[in-house]
Amino acid sequence: MDGDKLKYLGSATFLSTIKIDERNHQRLPPLEHLTSDQILAIRDVRLNFPYNFAQPPSPEIRWSLADLIDHARFPMARLDPCDKWDIQDFSMENFLRVLDPKRMSEPGYLAPTTVAKVIAYGLQIAESTTETMEVLAGLQTWTGEDILAQIRSLADAALIDNEFSPWRHFWIATQHPTIRWAINNAMMNRWGATGFPPAR
């Protein structure tokens, strides 16, 4: 499938390639497969829908969240502050108190379990946004692209202080390549996109 057909997040393309400066390669954590403990911890992250994280459109296989993170080639930390402080999940109240938005795209900033928790929070934001689609956007049916447009509109409207805006949190979270990839796949497979129906 032509990669251009899978560009999903509007002008801020979800599947854009992040290049890592080779000069900093020595300082990056090595690419490693998930440990059994990490897999179990990621499986404990609560999702509100049985999302398929395999590559859209129309994937022939199912990937769990742990499968996608294990296949990610973006360096992750072994431990991060969320592990140290035992943060169970993210919310409007703690997202920016725990995470530094300026470091979201930094290789090695987040550990795999934290990546999973941020993905779950991003998908919760998308789900809650669908509850407003008919009233605020006048839509009775929608695609993932429509949901993203609504999230962008709500973020730009500054209805809530930036620190507590879940819609702003969504765009901050998707600066991380693995989080962006996971949310893209999950949303496209669940809600579809222009020219691509939801996955069966």
Structure tokens at 23: 């000069």
| pLDDT of 5 higher than 60 | no
Question: Does 8 map to a domain?
Answer: no
Residue 114 lies inside a defined structural domain of this protein: yes
- Average pLDDT estimate for 102-120: 96
**Range with the poorest average pLDDT among 10-24, 62-76, 99-113, 115-129:** 10-24
Mean pLDDT of 64-88: 91
Q: Give the Cα separation of 112 and 72 in Å (integer).
A: 10
Q: Give the least confident one: 45-49, 50-54, 76-80.
A: 76-80
Residue 15 maps to a domain: no
The residues, ordered by sequence, that sit 6+ positions from 138 with a Cβ below 8 Å of its Cβ are none
The stretch 79-107 carries a mean pLDDT of: 91
- Asked, for residue 170, whether it belongs to a domain, the answer is yes
At 26, list the tokens: 């020595």
Residue 124 neighbours by CB under 8 Å, 6+ apart: 48
Q: How far, in Å, CA of 166 to CA of 31, rounded?
A: 30
When divided into structural domains, the chain yields a total of 1
Domain of 86, in residue numbers? 31-191
Tell me the average pLDDT across 170-174. 96
Residue 25 resides in a domain: no
Is residue 54 domain-resident? yes
Evaluate whether residue 21 is within a structural domain: no
> Encoding tokens for residue 187?
């949303």
Min mean pLDDT across 59-73, 128-142, 159-173 is at 128-142
Average pLDDT over the chain reads: 84
Q: Quick one: pLDDT band at residue 120, thresholds 50, 70, 90?
A: very high
Q: What is the pLDDT of residue 86?
A: 85
pLDDT in tens, 32-43: 889 999 999 999
At residue 79, the pLDDT reads 84
Task: Determine phi and psi for 89, rounding to 5 degrees.
Answer: -160, 170
- Token pair listed for 28: 């990056």
Residue pair 88/98 in contact (Cβ under 8 Å)? The answer is: no
Query: Residue 19 pLDDT > 90, yes or no?
Result: no
User: What global pTM score does this model have?
Assistant: 0.84
Q: Supply angle C-alpha 12, 18, 19, rounded to 5.
A: 145
CA angle 144, 187, 70 (to 5 degrees): 155
Residue 170's pLDDT is what? 97
User: Does some domain include residue 26?
Assistant: no
Residue carrying structure tokens 């431990």: 79
The mean pLDDT of 123-143, rounded to a whole number, is: 85
